[in-house]
Structure 1
């Protein structure tokens, strides 16, 4: 992993990037002020890249993910977060809804989120403190998780890309107070445009979609503890939110749990002990499944972590 940053980087102003990130657990921890869990769904070695910029508390970030990933957790507190894809080779799912390049996702004040991305996806997110929107925050739409509007999605992509280019190539452009005020005024205009589009799509969330989100969240928290629902309903709920069957999804979650434990553990544990903690009793089958998903053996994961440390 390669990490570079502006020496003045802080929660107010700065820039940093990390490239060639090999461990998904490390990738998820690099994003400032977000509480997210990442689980790999597709087979192969993971590699990620993150760019992050701050201007007066406004956060921009872009992440590139080589494998299909299921993200869950909470967004940044006390902010409005708008997200778009700038590379989307296949279907993505946000809170159970199918996404395209024309979709804008949003979360509000640390709200819960669930995002499933395909291989080789790239995501851009703008996070604006509610303190900068205090006079218009009451206009935030309710029960809208994403809106499909090509013009708005393109405008957000252009804003985020232009901001990164400006910070990287012309770092002094935002040094002046007046320049930052103009910049924040432009962002407020972008938020107004989002309000206009979102309020046109402000329809109640379907009960079936709410149930799907609850089922998957319960399955992640309690891994193998199923809710009282029929097999067909459970299958449909998982496929709505994750794009995978319950059996495949839960096995992938457990394998991700093993890898996360191997990467972050502090006390000495054998691979077999960690595997058994996550319900893998047949070591040879576990090893084959682990390599099939992550493109490496558990022992190779440990060696890579030891080299980093």
Structure 2
């Protein structure tokens, strides 16, 4: 799923709860617009950035309510409007089912300027939440209908433009949820700096003291920021990132007996504990991962 939406989201998706993960992505293009629906049986975390090329409109239904985006809890009846190039910190709940329509930036700007006589920056400024259950349901029904419909006949580019125009007009009718408080913006900066250090040192995870030094945050604020944005402690997040890195390396070197070396390379000095932690998160042993993915 991470690779399938790479043109819209430049993110890493990691597990937030143990067990085998089952994800699915159904997608199609309507002209230049990308319409898609994602599911997951486990709680996940997406972190990274969006590409500069798309605005995205996502209705928050009961299927994805209860998750969090950039620290704000998502409630059924809201509409998530995501700006090009914005940060992504999304906590996904188990049983997640989310729909979305991504509209090319240049097409969105053309429609906003022509139909609403303003700029997209003035209209939305940045990512935001809108609230209107009727409009949310209308957007969700539109996505569902498009996912199940036959390929449109005639001018597909026109179909995409009509879809984008209709979705933008609908979203503009919904009430905007009050913007994020400044303290949450500060916590995003703390998490971003801490994550940069963690990812730079997967083989030698930084201590809490080093994270506090890098972020200029107290221990208490550091832990609050991680809990609110990622739903994890700094140590838990670091370990999960390292375990996912181990899984990628094991798959990449599946023709070798590499498990122990991969563990050592990522700072897991006790092979037995590494195997236990790995199996607890992914629902299978490192050796099973390697053998199952051999050609």
TM-score w.r.t. the length of structure 1 is 0.80
Structure 1 equivalent of residue 153 of structure 2: 175
Q: Pick one of 43, 60, 67 that aligns with 2:35.
A: 60
| 1:190 counterpart = 2:167 | yes
Which SS does the other structure have where 1:136 is aligned? helix
For the pair 1:288 / 2:239, whether they are aligned, the reply is no
1:193–1:85 distance in 2 versus 1, CA, 3 Å: closer
Question: When the two structures are aligned, how many residues end up with a matched partner?
Answer: 273
| Residue of structure 2 in register with 1:103 after alignment | 78
- Pair 1:261-2:223 in alignment: no
CA distance in 2, matches of 1:201, 1:147: 5
Structure with higher RCO (Cα < 8 A, 6+ apart):
2
What TM-score do you get using the length of structure 2 for normalisation?
0.83
Partners in 1 of 2:177 and 2:60 — Cα distance?
20
> Aligned pair in 2 of structure 1 residues 217, 160: CA closer, same or farther (>3 Å)?
same
- SS of aligned partner of 2:55: strand
Determine the C-alpha separation between the residues in 2 that align with 1:38 and 1:269. Answer: 26
Q: Which runs of 5+ in 1 are unaligned?
A: 1-26
Superposition RMSD in Å: 2.4
Q: Runs of 5+ in structure 2 lacking a partner?
A: 114-118, 199-204
Task: Report the counterpart of residue 4 of structure 2 in structure 1.
Answer: 30
Q: Does 1:214 align with 2:189?
A: yes
- Alignment correspondent of 1:145: 128
Is the alpha carbon distance of 1:104 and 1:269 closer, same or farther for their aligned partners in structure 2, counting shifts above 3 Å? farther
Instruction: Specify the SS of the correspondent of 1:29.
Output: coil
- Structure 1 residue 193: Cα displacement: 2.4
- Decide whether aligned partners of structure 1 residues 54 and 90 sit closer, same or farther in structure 2, where only a CA change above 3 A counts: closer
- 1:31-84: per-residue Cα shift (whole Å, max 9, x none)? 251322111111100111111101211101111112111112232432211123
Any conservation in 1 of the 2:111–2:165 contact (CA below 8 Å)?
no
Runs of 4+ in structure 1 deviating by more than 6 angstroms, as ranges, are none
Tell whether the 8 Å contact from 1:103 to 1:149 is kept in structure 2 after alignment. yes
Distance of 1:89 and 1:124 partners within structure 2: 9
Structural mapping, 1:82-97, within 5 Å: 82-86=57-61, 88=63, 91-97=66-72
Instruction: Please state how far the C-alpha of 1:131 moved relative to its aligned partner.
Output: 2.7
Pairing 1:266-281 to 2, within 5 Å after superposition = 268=256, 270-281=258-269
- Deviations for 1:242-290, whole angstroms, at most 9, x for unmatched residues? 1222222222222122112223458957212211222211111111111
